[in-house]
Structure 1
Amino acid sequence: SCPFGDQFTGIAAHGLTCAQIKHPEHHWRCYDDHTRKKCCETCQSILRNDKGCEYGDKSDWCQTNIASQNDKQMCYWGHNADLCCGSCSKYGNMAHHGCEYGDKQSGCVSSRCSHYSSSHRGKCCETCLSAPVIG
Protein backbone atom coordinates (compact mmCIF):
# COMPACT_ATOMS: atom_id res chain seq x y z
CA SER A 1 0.00 0.00 0.00
CA CYS A 2 1.07 3.58 -0.55
CA PRO A 3 -1.15 5.93 1.49
CA PHE A 4 1.23 8.93 1.32
CA GLY A 5 2.55 8.59 -2.24
CA ASP A 6 6.23 8.73 -3.10
CA GLN A 7 8.26 9.07 0.10
CA PHE A 8 11.16 10.97 -1.37
CA THR A 9 11.40 14.08 -3.52
CA GLY A 10 15.18 14.16 -3.99
CA ILE A 11 17.42 11.39 -5.25
CA ALA A 12 15.52 8.25 -4.31
CA ALA A 13 17.70 5.44 -5.59
CA HIS A 14 20.53 4.78 -8.02
CA GLY A 15 21.04 8.52 -8.57
CA LEU A 16 17.47 8.96 -9.82
CA THR A 17 14.41 10.77 -8.56
CA CYS A 18 11.01 9.08 -8.52
CA ALA A 19 10.00 11.31 -11.44
CA GLN A 20 12.95 9.98 -13.46
CA ILE A 21 12.07 6.38 -12.57
CA LYS A 22 8.70 7.00 -14.19
CA HIS A 23 10.45 7.18 -17.59
CA PRO A 24 10.28 3.81 -19.43
CA GLU A 25 14.06 3.34 -19.54
CA HIS A 26 14.10 3.34 -15.72
CA HIS A 27 10.97 1.30 -14.92
CA TRP A 28 13.16 -1.70 -14.12
CA ARG A 29 14.41 0.10 -11.00
CA CYS A 30 11.04 -0.69 -9.35
CA TYR A 31 12.08 -4.36 -9.06
CA ASP A 32 14.36 -3.18 -6.23
CA ASP A 33 12.57 -3.25 -2.83
CA HIS A 34 14.26 -0.05 -1.62
CA THR A 35 13.25 1.88 -4.74
CA ARG A 36 9.73 0.46 -4.68
CA LYS A 37 9.26 1.69 -1.08
CA LYS A 38 10.68 5.17 -1.66
CA CYS A 39 8.83 5.62 -4.96
CA CYS A 40 5.72 3.59 -4.15
CA GLU A 41 3.29 5.83 -6.06
CA THR A 42 5.53 5.91 -9.13
CA CYS A 43 6.08 2.14 -9.08
CA GLN A 44 2.37 1.44 -8.60
CA SER A 45 1.55 3.71 -11.54
CA ILE A 46 3.76 1.71 -13.91
CA LEU A 47 2.91 -1.73 -12.51
CA ARG A 48 1.74 -4.13 -15.22
CA ASN A 49 -0.52 -7.14 -14.81
CA ASP A 50 2.14 -9.48 -16.15
CA LYS A 51 3.45 -11.97 -13.58
CA GLY A 52 7.23 -11.99 -13.60
CA CYS A 53 7.38 -8.88 -15.78
CA GLU A 54 5.53 -6.41 -13.57
CA TYR A 55 7.76 -3.45 -14.48
CA GLY A 56 8.92 -4.63 -17.91
CA ASP A 57 12.57 -5.35 -18.65
CA LYS A 58 14.70 -6.08 -15.59
CA SER A 59 17.78 -4.32 -16.94
CA ASP A 60 18.60 -1.23 -18.98
CA TRP A 61 20.76 -3.52 -21.15
CA CYS A 62 17.61 -4.82 -22.84
CA GLN A 63 16.43 -1.56 -24.34
CA THR A 64 19.88 -1.00 -25.85
CA ASN A 65 20.47 -4.53 -27.14
CA ILE A 66 16.95 -5.71 -28.01
CA ALA A 67 15.80 -2.44 -29.50
CA SER A 68 14.04 -3.62 -32.66
CA GLN A 69 12.60 -6.57 -34.57
CA ASN A 70 16.12 -7.15 -35.93
CA ASP A 71 17.41 -7.90 -32.42
CA LYS A 72 14.65 -10.26 -31.24
CA GLN A 73 16.86 -13.30 -31.89
CA MET A 74 18.79 -12.32 -28.75
CA CYS A 75 15.76 -13.34 -26.69
CA TYR A 76 16.80 -16.98 -27.22
CA TRP A 77 20.19 -16.47 -25.55
CA GLY A 78 20.66 -17.48 -21.93
CA HIS A 79 18.15 -15.86 -19.61
CA ASN A 80 17.41 -12.92 -21.91
CA ALA A 81 13.73 -13.85 -22.39
CA ASP A 82 13.23 -13.43 -18.62
CA LEU A 83 15.66 -10.54 -18.09
CA CYS A 84 14.25 -8.67 -21.09
CA CYS A 85 10.65 -9.81 -20.69
CA GLY A 86 9.23 -6.47 -21.83
CA SER A 87 11.33 -6.16 -24.98
CA CYS A 88 11.06 -9.85 -25.87
CA SER A 89 7.29 -9.89 -25.50
CA LYS A 90 7.06 -6.75 -27.64
CA TYR A 91 8.94 -8.36 -30.53
CA GLY A 92 7.94 -11.99 -29.98
CA ASN A 93 5.04 -14.02 -31.29
CA MET A 94 3.97 -16.44 -28.56
CA ALA A 95 1.63 -18.22 -31.02
CA HIS A 96 4.68 -19.71 -32.76
CA HIS A 97 5.69 -22.18 -30.05
CA GLY A 98 9.40 -22.93 -30.34
CA CYS A 99 9.87 -20.01 -32.73
CA GLU A 100 8.62 -17.16 -30.55
CA TYR A 101 11.43 -14.80 -31.52
CA GLY A 102 11.87 -15.80 -35.15
CA ASP A 103 14.89 -17.43 -36.73
CA LYS A 104 17.51 -18.67 -34.27
CA GLN A 105 20.35 -17.86 -36.64
CA SER A 106 20.99 -15.30 -39.32
CA GLY A 107 21.40 -15.98 -43.03
CA CYS A 108 18.21 -18.01 -43.50
CA VAL A 109 16.92 -17.96 -47.09
CA SER A 110 13.36 -19.09 -47.82
CA SER A 111 14.22 -20.42 -51.28
CA ARG A 112 16.76 -22.78 -49.65
CA CYS A 113 14.44 -24.17 -46.95
CA SER A 114 13.59 -27.27 -48.96
CA HIS A 115 17.31 -28.12 -49.05
CA TYR A 116 17.98 -27.53 -45.36
CA SER A 117 18.21 -30.43 -42.90
CA SER A 118 15.41 -30.60 -40.33
CA SER A 119 17.83 -29.20 -37.74
CA HIS A 120 18.70 -26.26 -39.99
CA ARG A 121 15.00 -25.66 -40.75
CA GLY A 122 14.40 -25.57 -36.99
CA LYS A 123 16.99 -22.82 -36.65
CA CYS A 124 15.38 -20.97 -39.56
CA CYS A 125 11.93 -21.56 -38.11
CA GLU A 126 10.41 -18.20 -39.11
CA THR A 127 11.86 -18.08 -42.61
CA CYS A 128 10.93 -21.70 -43.32
CA LEU A 129 7.53 -21.62 -41.57
CA SER A 130 5.52 -21.50 -44.79
CA ALA A 131 8.15 -22.83 -47.18
CA PRO A 132 7.33 -26.21 -48.74
CA VAL A 133 9.47 -29.13 -47.64
CA ILE A 134 10.42 -31.41 -50.51
CA GLY A 135 11.38 -34.98 -49.87
Structure 2
Amino acid sequence: MYLLINGLPCNDAVDVIGHFICYQYERVSTECCRKCLSVKQRENRDCEYGDRSDQCRNIQPFDCYNNRTRNICCDRCRNYRSQMSTGISQCEYGDLTPRCTFVNQRRQLCYLPENERLCCITCPRLADQSKPNCKWGDQNPYLCNPFSQTGVLRINCYQNSVQQVCCETCDNLRTRFKDAPAGCEFGDRPVTISTSKGVFDCANYIRNFGLEVCDSSDINRHCCYTCYRYRKHQRRAGG
Protein backbone atom coordinates (compact mmCIF):
# COMPACT_ATOMS: atom_id res chain seq x y z
CA MET A 1 0.00 0.00 0.00
CA TYR A 2 1.38 3.38 -1.05
CA LEU A 3 1.14 5.92 1.76
CA LEU A 4 -0.09 9.45 1.06
CA ILE A 5 -0.11 12.17 3.71
CA ASN A 6 -2.51 14.99 2.87
CA GLY A 7 -2.33 13.75 -0.70
CA LEU A 8 1.48 13.84 -0.77
CA PRO A 9 4.06 11.06 -0.84
CA CYS A 10 5.92 10.86 2.45
CA ASN A 11 9.12 12.36 1.02
CA ASP A 12 7.27 15.47 -0.11
CA ALA A 13 4.99 15.63 2.92
CA VAL A 14 7.94 15.85 5.33
CA ASP A 15 9.37 18.77 3.34
CA VAL A 16 6.08 20.58 2.77
CA ILE A 17 4.15 19.98 5.99
CA GLY A 18 7.12 19.80 8.33
CA HIS A 19 9.53 17.39 9.94
CA PHE A 20 7.19 17.02 12.91
CA ILE A 21 4.99 14.56 10.99
CA CYS A 22 7.81 12.06 11.48
CA TYR A 23 6.77 11.72 15.11
CA GLN A 24 3.66 9.99 13.75
CA TYR A 25 4.79 8.45 10.48
CA GLU A 26 8.46 7.46 10.85
CA ARG A 27 7.60 3.78 11.28
CA VAL A 28 4.59 3.61 8.98
CA SER A 29 6.38 2.90 5.69
CA THR A 30 9.84 2.28 4.31
CA GLU A 31 9.74 5.59 2.42
CA CYS A 32 8.84 7.50 5.60
CA CYS A 33 11.44 5.64 7.61
CA ARG A 34 14.20 6.63 5.20
CA LYS A 35 13.06 10.22 4.84
CA CYS A 36 12.61 10.73 8.57
CA LEU A 37 15.97 9.14 9.29
CA SER A 38 17.61 11.69 6.97
CA VAL A 39 16.22 14.67 8.90
CA LYS A 40 16.38 13.20 12.39
CA GLN A 41 18.47 15.16 14.92
CA ARG A 42 19.52 12.42 17.31
CA GLU A 43 21.29 14.80 19.66
CA ASN A 44 17.97 16.48 20.50
CA ARG A 45 16.47 13.84 22.73
CA ASP A 46 12.65 13.84 22.71
CA CYS A 47 12.80 16.56 20.08
CA GLU A 48 14.47 14.76 17.20
CA TYR A 49 12.11 16.24 14.61
CA GLY A 50 11.73 19.68 16.12
CA ASP A 51 8.46 21.24 17.20
CA ARG A 52 5.40 19.01 17.07
CA SER A 53 3.17 21.72 15.59
CA ASP A 54 3.60 24.52 13.08
CA GLN A 55 1.70 26.73 15.55
CA CYS A 56 4.80 26.86 17.71
CA ARG A 57 6.06 29.75 15.62
CA ASN A 58 3.40 31.90 17.30
CA ILE A 59 4.34 31.27 20.93
CA GLN A 60 6.14 33.72 23.20
CA PRO A 61 8.99 32.80 25.58
CA PHE A 62 6.73 32.87 28.65
CA ASP A 63 4.50 30.21 27.03
CA CYS A 64 7.34 27.74 27.54
CA TYR A 65 6.73 27.66 31.30
CA ASN A 66 3.69 25.49 30.51
CA ASN A 67 4.78 21.84 30.48
CA ARG A 68 2.48 20.86 27.60
CA THR A 69 3.58 23.79 25.46
CA ARG A 70 7.22 23.05 26.23
CA ASN A 71 6.72 19.43 25.12
CA ILE A 72 4.93 20.34 21.88
CA CYS A 73 7.22 23.26 21.06
CA CYS A 74 10.40 21.60 22.25
CA ASP A 75 12.67 23.17 19.64
CA ARG A 76 11.27 26.69 19.89
CA CYS A 77 11.45 26.60 23.69
CA ARG A 78 14.98 25.26 23.62
CA ASN A 79 16.00 28.13 21.33
CA TYR A 80 14.24 30.66 23.55
CA ARG A 81 16.05 29.30 26.59
CA SER A 82 19.37 29.55 24.80
CA GLN A 83 18.65 33.09 23.58
CA MET A 84 17.46 34.32 26.97
CA SER A 85 20.36 32.74 28.87
CA THR A 86 19.14 34.41 32.06
CA GLY A 87 21.16 32.35 34.50
CA ILE A 88 18.28 32.81 36.95
CA SER A 89 16.63 29.76 38.48
CA GLN A 90 12.94 29.39 37.52
CA CYS A 91 13.35 32.27 35.07
CA GLU A 92 14.82 30.38 32.12
CA TYR A 93 12.42 31.94 29.62
CA GLY A 94 12.32 35.46 31.07
CA ASP A 95 9.26 37.06 32.63
CA LEU A 96 6.48 34.57 33.33
CA THR A 97 3.65 36.80 32.10
CA PRO A 98 3.05 39.53 29.50
CA ARG A 99 1.64 41.68 32.31
CA CYS A 100 5.21 42.60 33.16
CA THR A 101 5.04 45.25 30.42
CA PHE A 102 2.58 47.04 32.73
CA VAL A 103 4.87 46.51 35.73
CA ASN A 104 7.72 47.96 33.67
CA GLN A 105 5.83 51.26 33.58
CA ARG A 106 5.03 51.15 37.33
CA ARG A 107 8.12 49.81 39.02
CA GLN A 108 6.58 50.12 42.49
CA LEU A 109 4.45 47.07 41.65
CA CYS A 110 7.61 45.00 42.08
CA TYR A 111 7.22 45.38 45.85
CA LEU A 112 4.38 42.84 45.59
CA PRO A 113 6.04 39.41 46.05
CA GLU A 114 3.94 37.77 43.33
CA ASN A 115 4.88 40.45 40.80
CA GLU A 116 8.54 40.14 41.76
CA ARG A 117 8.29 36.38 41.15
CA LEU A 118 6.43 36.65 37.84
CA CYS A 119 8.54 39.51 36.50
CA CYS A 120 11.83 37.80 37.23
CA ILE A 121 13.67 39.79 34.54
CA THR A 122 11.82 43.11 34.66
CA CYS A 123 11.89 43.66 38.43
CA PRO A 124 15.64 43.03 38.91
CA ARG A 125 16.33 45.29 35.92
CA LEU A 126 14.26 48.11 37.44
CA ALA A 127 15.75 47.68 40.92
CA ASP A 128 18.32 50.08 42.36
CA GLN A 129 20.51 47.59 44.19
CA SER A 130 22.39 50.40 45.94
CA LYS A 131 19.20 51.11 47.90
CA PRO A 132 18.11 47.75 49.37
CA ASN A 133 15.23 49.32 51.31
CA CYS A 134 14.03 51.42 48.38
CA LYS A 135 14.86 49.31 45.33
CA TRP A 136 11.81 50.36 43.31
CA GLY A 137 11.30 53.88 44.63
CA ASP A 138 8.18 55.03 46.42
CA GLN A 139 5.62 52.31 47.07
CA ASN A 140 2.78 54.72 46.20
CA PRO A 141 3.95 57.61 43.99
CA TYR A 142 0.55 59.30 44.11
CA LEU A 143 0.37 59.41 47.91
CA CYS A 144 4.06 60.31 48.09
CA ASN A 145 3.77 63.43 45.97
CA PRO A 146 5.54 65.77 48.43
CA PHE A 147 3.87 69.05 47.59
CA SER A 148 0.30 70.20 47.04
CA GLN A 149 -0.70 72.17 43.94
CA THR A 150 0.01 75.36 45.91
CA GLY A 151 3.52 74.20 46.80
CA VAL A 152 2.76 73.29 50.42
CA LEU A 153 4.56 70.25 51.86
CA ARG A 154 2.01 67.49 52.36
CA ILE A 155 3.89 64.40 53.60
CA ASN A 156 5.60 63.85 56.94
CA CYS A 157 8.84 61.95 56.46
CA TYR A 158 9.51 62.14 60.19
CA GLN A 159 7.06 59.24 60.57
CA ASN A 160 8.73 55.84 60.08
CA SER A 161 5.74 54.49 58.16
CA VAL A 162 5.94 57.39 55.70
CA GLN A 163 9.70 56.92 55.31
CA GLN A 164 9.05 53.30 54.36
CA VAL A 165 6.25 53.95 51.86
CA CYS A 166 7.77 57.14 50.43
CA CYS A 167 11.42 56.12 50.67
CA GLU A 168 12.55 57.83 47.46
CA THR A 169 10.67 61.07 48.10
CA CYS A 170 11.97 61.24 51.68
CA ASP A 171 15.53 60.69 50.45
CA ASN A 172 15.05 63.52 47.95
CA LEU A 173 13.73 65.80 50.69
CA ARG A 174 16.71 64.93 52.86
CA THR A 175 18.99 66.00 50.00
CA ARG A 176 16.96 69.15 49.41
CA PHE A 177 17.35 70.19 53.06
CA LYS A 178 20.92 68.94 53.50
CA ASP A 179 21.95 72.20 55.21
CA ALA A 180 19.20 71.88 57.83
CA PRO A 181 20.10 71.53 61.52
CA ALA A 182 19.89 68.20 63.34
CA GLY A 183 16.35 66.95 63.75
CA CYS A 184 15.20 68.92 60.72
CA GLU A 185 16.53 66.71 57.93
CA PHE A 186 13.23 66.68 56.03
CA GLY A 187 12.40 70.37 56.48
CA ASP A 188 9.22 71.67 58.09
CA ARG A 189 6.53 69.28 59.25
CA PRO A 190 3.37 69.44 57.11
CA VAL A 191 1.40 71.59 59.56
CA THR A 192 -1.16 74.38 59.31
CA ILE A 193 -1.53 76.96 62.05
CA SER A 194 -4.91 78.52 62.83
CA THR A 195 -4.85 82.19 63.88
CA SER A 196 -7.23 85.13 64.11
CA LYS A 197 -5.97 86.16 60.68
CA GLY A 198 -6.57 82.81 59.06
CA VAL A 199 -4.86 79.46 58.58
CA PHE A 200 -1.19 79.52 57.56
CA ASP A 201 1.61 77.17 56.70
CA CYS A 202 4.97 77.74 58.41
CA ALA A 203 6.37 80.27 55.96
CA ASN A 204 3.26 82.45 55.88
CA TYR A 205 2.80 82.22 59.65
CA ILE A 206 6.29 83.55 60.37
CA ARG A 207 5.96 86.12 57.61
CA ASN A 208 2.78 87.45 59.21
CA PHE A 209 3.71 87.22 62.90
CA GLY A 210 7.47 87.63 62.89
CA LEU A 211 10.46 85.48 63.78
CA GLU A 212 9.62 85.74 67.47
CA VAL A 213 7.06 82.95 67.08
CA CYS A 214 10.00 80.58 66.60
CA ASP A 215 10.79 81.03 70.30
CA SER A 216 7.91 78.64 70.91
CA SER A 217 9.28 75.09 71.15
CA ASP A 218 6.28 73.71 69.22
CA ILE A 219 6.65 76.21 66.38
CA ASN A 220 10.43 75.77 66.34
CA ARG A 221 9.93 72.00 66.03
CA HIS A 222 7.16 71.97 63.45
CA CYS A 223 8.59 74.85 61.41
CA CYS A 224 12.23 73.96 62.01
CA TYR A 225 13.55 74.75 58.54
CA THR A 226 11.64 78.00 58.07
CA CYS A 227 12.76 79.20 61.52
CA TYR A 228 16.33 78.18 60.71
CA ARG A 229 16.20 79.97 57.36
CA TYR A 230 14.79 83.21 58.83
CA ARG A 231 17.33 83.21 61.68
CA LYS A 232 20.15 82.64 59.22
CA HIS A 233 18.95 85.55 57.11
CA GLN A 234 18.66 87.74 60.22
CA ARG A 235 22.24 86.97 61.25
CA ARG A 236 23.52 87.84 57.80
CA ALA A 237 21.62 91.09 57.90
CA GLY A 238 23.24 91.87 61.24
CA GLY A 239 19.92 91.89 63.09
Query: What amino acid sits opposite 1:80 in the alignment?
Result: N
Give, in angstroms, the shift of residue 31 of structure 1: 0.7
| Residue 135 (structure 2) aligned to one of 80, 97, 100 | 100
Specify every segment of 5 or more residues in structure 1 that has no aligned partner in the other structure, as ranges.
Answer: 11-16
Distance 1:96 1:2 in 2: 44
* AA at the equivalent of 2:97: S
Alignment match, 2:118: 83
Change (3 A) 1:93 1:114: same
The one-letter code matched in structure 2 to 1:79 is: E
Residue 37 of structure 1 is matched in structure 2 by 71
Q: 1:49 aligned to 2:90?
A: no
In structure 2, relative to structure 1, the CA distance for the partners of 1:83 and 1:53 (3 Å cut) is same
Q: Distance in 2 between matches of 1:61 and 1:109?
A: 26
Tell me how far apart the structure 1 counterparts of residues 130 and 77 of structure 2 sit (CA, whole Å).
Answer: 30
Could you list the runs of 5+ residues in structure 2 that have no partner in the other structure? Answer: 1-42, 148-152, 184-239
The one-letter code of the counterpart of 1:74 is L
- Contact (CA 8 Å) 1:104, 1:123: kept in 2 or not? yes
**Counterparts of 1:128 and 1:113 in 2: how far apart (Å)?**
12
**How far apart are the structure 1 equivalents of 2:124 and 2:67?**
24
1:113, 1:128 within 8 Å by CA — same for their partners in 2?
no
1:44 and 1:93 map into 2 onto residues whose CA distance is: 31
The alignment's TM-score, normalised by the length of structure 1, stands at 0.72
Q: From the two aligned structures, give the one with the greater strand fraction.
A: 2
| Structure 2 equivalent of residue 8 of structure 1 | 52
Residue type matched to 1:67 in 2? N
If you compute each CA radius of gyration, which structure gives the higher value, 1 or 2? 2
Q: Which has the higher helix share?
A: 2
CA distances 1:107-135 after superposition (whole Å, capped 9, x unpaired): 32468599411220111112223542851
Q: How does 1:54-69 map to 2 (within 5 A)?
A: 54-63=92-101, 65-68=102-105
Q: Distance in 2 between matches of 1:91 and 1:60?
A: 16
The structure with higher relative contact order (CA 8 Å, sep 6+) is 1
Shift in CA distance, 54/95, structure 1 to aligned 2, threshold 3 Å: farther
Residue 94 of structure 1 aligns to a residue whose secondary structure is coil
Identity %: 28
